[in-house]
Amino acid sequence: MPSKPDKPSYLNFEKTAYAWKPDIDYRKNPEAYKVGKGEQGVLICEPYKSEIGQYWRFKTEAIAKISSEQIINMFKQYLNSNDFVGADMARKYLQMGFTRARRYANYKGGKKYDKDNDYQQLQRGTGEAEKAAAAQIFFDKWQQAEADAQYAQLKKEWKNERG
C-alpha cells in the first residue's frame, strides 16, 4: 500500500497540466470534460460550479441535510436531461461534502497541515463532532449517486470514450 505524502499535494500543483480549465463552458463543450479521480475539477467546471456550488453547505447536520438533498435532486435532474457532466459534477459535490466535513470533524478549523511549520501534519481528533454527522449525510447521498444504474452506465461509457 502506498504511503501518504508528508506534505499536501497542492504544494506541487502544476496548473498547466491540469485537465480542467476555468475558461471552458462544459455544457457547451462536454467533450472537453474528463471524469478524473475523486473531486477533480469540481471547483473549476462552469456552468456547473455556479449552479451546484451555491447549494453546497456542511456547517451543521441540518444544513448538510438540506444541501445534500438539493444536490442529489440536481444530480437526478441532470440525469433526466441526459447531462452526464452535470450529474458527475453533482456527484463530485456530494463527495466533496463528505471529504470536507470529515476534514473539519478530524482537524480543528479543517486545517490538516501547519504551513508555518514546514507543512507538518496537525493533530487529528481536534475537530468538531457535528461535522461527522454532516459528513455521514453527504456520504449517504454520494453513495446513492454512485449506485444509480443510469449514472454508472453513463460514467462507464464516458470514461471508455473520453477519459
The predicted-structure confidence for 91-100, as pLDDT tens digits, reads as follows 999 999 999 9
Work out whether the CA dihedral 62, 135, 10, 88 comes out positive or negative.
negative
Is 42 a residue whose pLDDT tops 70? Answer: yes
* Grid coordinates of 24: 471552458
The predicted-structure confidence for 97-124, as pLDDT tens digits, reads as follows 999 999 888 877 666 666 777 777 766 6
Work out whether the CA dihedral 54, 8, 13, 160 comes out positive or negative.
negative
Domain coordinates in residue numbering, the chain: 20-161
With 0-12 CB in 10 A as exposed, 13-18 as middle and 19+ as buried, what is 131? buried
What number of other Cβ atoms are within 10 A of residue 16's Cβ? 5
% of the chain exceeding 70 in pLDDT: 80
pTM of the entire predicted model? 0.85
Residue 121, H or E segment: strand 120-121
The predicted-structure confidence for 131-143, as pLDDT tens digits, reads as follows 999 999 999 999 9
Q: Please tell me the distance from the alpha carbon of residue 47 to that of residue 5, in angstroms, as a whole number.
A: 33
pLDDT for res 67: 98
Place of cell 470536507: 100
Q: Compute the CA torsion angle 91, 97, 98, 104 (nearest 10 deg).
A: 160
